[in-house]
Amino acid sequence: MNNIEKSRRLRELILAKDTLVMPDAFDPLSARIIERLGFKAVQCSGFSMAVAAVRPSEAELGMEANLNVSRTIVNAVEVPVMADGEDGFGGPEDIVAAIRAYVEADLAGINLEDQVLGQPGSKRIVTRDVMVEKLTNARKAAKDANNADLVINGRTDALAVANDRQAGLKEAVVRANAYLAAGADLAFITSVATMDEVEFLLREIKGPISVAAGMPYNVRTLSLKALKDAGVARVSLPAIAILSVVRAMMDTLQSIRDTGDFTDILDGNRICGMEDIAALLKQNARIPMATKQKVLFLCTGNSCRSQMAEGWARYLKGDAIDAYSAGIESHGLNRLAVKAMAEVGVDISNQRSKLVDELKNLQFDYVVTVCDNANESCPLFPGRTKVVHVGFDDPPRLASNAKTDEEAFSHYRRVRDEIRAFVETLPDGLKEK
């Protein structure tokens, strides 16, 4: 299945009569185990990823690491995978880049929450209006990224931050209904502790709901059977896998340390056999060993040349490059650039002009400046990013001096073809710059 088909399959599972149970995956192996045991979908857990990376919080893990792990999880399984998009890693304006990145990584769905990620002190949530704007932007961004079927799980932590449980439940209902109206496919309410609370939410929320189970605050009060019987659409197990892995390793290694032999772990059947490992690894032929290079094409207004470069990279090098474009300014998508690319069968009409600041949460391998002004004004990029300048003539400027429409359009065609020739050398061509 491709990512659109997986999104549609995930939506079918959520809307089906049977409750969808999604355990937490934090690496490809945990995802493979979840799939092998018959679960129909996998939930990436930012919490579990952070624990596995020995990070104290999801915020410290960050979007780039979250995305990279999510990508390896998708490549390890056939079933649909839902990303943990946290709070979108920023405000409403940042959500577009996040959605696009997760769509390009072939995630079937994404969890977006109203808690503020990485803030000091006690947990807090954004206003309803801010979260509604995030979800509205996310739905549009999914469509613009060519997966209008992306499943969006709108999460509220209103109950978790409330001092009064009844007031928290009522606020959770208001928010859940607002999130569904804004484009979420289901409403995820955290910190639900009793079946009475579950039944209240089911009565008051006008759409499918999701709750977390197996958590320290409800592991003894909520059972999967009770949640299924009540009609909960989706049950997230956001920490059960990582908690059980930590406990199993600690118990096993403590036994070896204390007893000096392996009798207890053998008697307790605490280690798997090599046949279990072989069964988990037999699908490895489909897991790509190399990751794509993340390349940003940058120009002044992200209107023409950088848009063409992004379109060509997606069309010609989609298996090797994750392509993006942006500008120092945003001048809108040039209609003649769209027309020129359409002539050669490349549709860039769904791309949009954007500021480079919108992509601040992404770590690029290369930034390619395609105009002199962008090269001179290029912002600093952290870490390993290499900035390369490959200049191309400006079609709108040349066209402004043309005597006929045909002469004007010829400049777009020429630059389009020059950009194609450059993109065909990628990504190896960038290593030589």
Dmax (CA) of the chain: 90
Q: Which of 141, 193, 149 is nearest to 172 (CA)?
A: 193
State the residue for tokens 């490349």.
Answer: 346
State the residue for tokens 């959500």.
Answer: 95
- Which amino acid makes up residue 253? L
Is residue 158 within 8 A of residue 172, CB to CB? The reply is yes
| Two tokens, residue 264 | 């207890």
Name the helix (H) or strand (E) containing 295: strand 293-299
Query: Is 371 a known active-site residue?
Result: yes
Mention every residue, 6+ apart, whose C-beta is less than 8 A from residue 28: 72, 73, 75, 76, 287
Is residue 404 within 8 A of residue 333, CB to CB? The reply is no
User: Up-side HSE of residue 206: CA atoms within 13 Å toward CB?
Assistant: 9
Is residue 280 within 8 A of residue 77, CB to CB? The reply is no
- Which amino acid makes up residue 59? A
Catalytic residue among 44, 272, 304, 378: 378
Is residue 63 within 8 A of residue 257, CB to CB? The reply is no
Question: Percent helix, strand and coil across the chain, each rounded to 5?
Answer: 50, 15, 35
Distance CA 232, CA 226 (A): 9
Backbone φ and ψ for 410, nearest 5 degrees, come out as: -60, -30
Whether a cis peptide bond, with omega within 30° of 0, leads into 427 is yes
Mention every residue, 6+ apart, whose C-beta is less than 8 A from residue 172: 156, 158, 159, 189, 201
State the residue for tokens 């389009």.
Answer: 416
Catalytic residue among 44, 272, 299, 304: 299
Cite the active site residues: 299, 371, 378
